């Protein structure tokens, strides 16, 4: 009888261990975002050469000036003065369409998607030079925003005026990470030419400054993953763990009964 009892008891402990593992794994799968996303390798990156790229659906404020203001006036669809509101600028900006093009006065269709801001300025100045001498072009992004999710104090989407926002600054906009944020595994989701790319950032390491996503692009999503302490205290985990304890107690009762 003792032999049978120990066999039952050993099976009981094995089953209990597997059960607890399953409850913990199941709960994390219900909590963490972007699971099994293909993470990009983080090569060394010279952040001093960072420059924002134009993408489809960007809203661009493009202004042209020259020594002859009247000649440049035809290229300025927006008349800037003190009464011009931000909303009016957004409505009257140049929207980059799904093919990466804008329709510019006198010139027509110009492909800008994928170009850096300086490359787009050079291209426009070259095109406009056919109509006026020595044009000066300025481009401003009207839709530069990032979304910060997960274990931060104020998750949400943030529109910023600065076109050189770092991943650390984005966390500051969201009120910093909570105590439950996994500081070694911050994910940045970025769309490049229609493809979603995922990067991991470890802000406890000085290598963060060499990350290709240290400087954010417009419409990037920053996600702070919860740490293990948060997962353990989550509702789903607690319920599953309580169920596991209940089953373990039942099996222990059965084992003690068989011993008799």
Residue 119: phi and psi, rounded to 5, are -65, -40
In terms of Cα–Cα distance, which of 259, 174, 242 is closest to 19? 242
For the chain, give every residue range classified as CATH 3.10.560.10: 33-50+144-226
The confidence score (pLDDT) of residue 210 equals 87
User: Measured between alpha carbons, how far is 55 from 211 in angstroms, rounded to an integer?
Assistant: 21
Half-sphere exposure of 129 (CA within 13 A, CB side): 8
How many Cβ atoms are within 10 Å of 202's Cβ, its own excluded?
15
Give the contacts of 103 (CB within 8 A, at least 6 positions apart).
Answer: 94, 109, 110
* CATH class given for the domain over 59-141: alpha beta
Instruction: List, by residue range, all CATH 3.30.1950.10 domains of the chain.
Output: 59-141
Per-residue pLDDT of the chain (260 residues; tens, 9 = 90+): 556 655 655 565 556 656 555 555 545 565 566 666 667 665 555 555 678 889 888 999 999 999 888 888 888 876 555 555 454 555 568 999 999 999 999 999 999 999 999 999 999 999 999 999 999 999 999 888 899 999 999 999 998 887 889 999 999 999 999 999 999 889 999 988 778 899 999 998 888 888 889 999 989 999 999 888 777 776 555 555 555 566 666 656 665 555 55
- CATH code assigned to 33-50+144-226: 3.10.560.10
């Amino acid at each position: 009888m003792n032999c049978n009892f120990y066999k039952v008891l050993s099976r009981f402990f094995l089953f209990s261990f597997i059960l607890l593992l399953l409850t913990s794994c199941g709960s994390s799968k219900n909590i963490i975002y972007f699971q099994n996303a293909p993470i990009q390798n983080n090569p060394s990156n010279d952040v001093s050469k960072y420059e924002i790229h134009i993408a489809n659906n960007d809203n661009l404020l493009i202004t042209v000036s020259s020594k002859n203001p009247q000649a440049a006036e035809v290229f300025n669809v927006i008349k800037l003065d003190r009464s011009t509101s931000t909303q009016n600028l957004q409505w009257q900006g140049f929207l980059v369409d799904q093919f990466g093009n804008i329709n510019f006065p006198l010139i027509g269709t110009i492909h800008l998607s994928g170009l850096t801001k300086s490359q787009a300025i050079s291209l426009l100045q070259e095109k406009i030079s056919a109509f006026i001498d020595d044009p000066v072009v300025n481009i401003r992004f009207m839709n530069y925003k990032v979304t910060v999710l997960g274990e931060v104090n104020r998750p949400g989407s943030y529109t910023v005026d600065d076109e050189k926002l770092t991943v650390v600054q984005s966390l500051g906009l969201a009120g910093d990470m909570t105590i439950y944020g996994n500081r070694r595994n911050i994910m940045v989701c970025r769309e490049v030419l229609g493809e979603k790319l995922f990067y991991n950032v470890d802000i406890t390491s000085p290598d963060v400054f060499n990350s290709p996503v240290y400087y954010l692009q417009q419409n990037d999503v920053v996600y702070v993953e919860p740490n293990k302490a948060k997962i353990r205290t989550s509702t789903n985990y607690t319920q599953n763990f309580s169920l596991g304890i209940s089953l373990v107690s039942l099996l222990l009762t059965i084992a003690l009964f068989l011993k008799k």
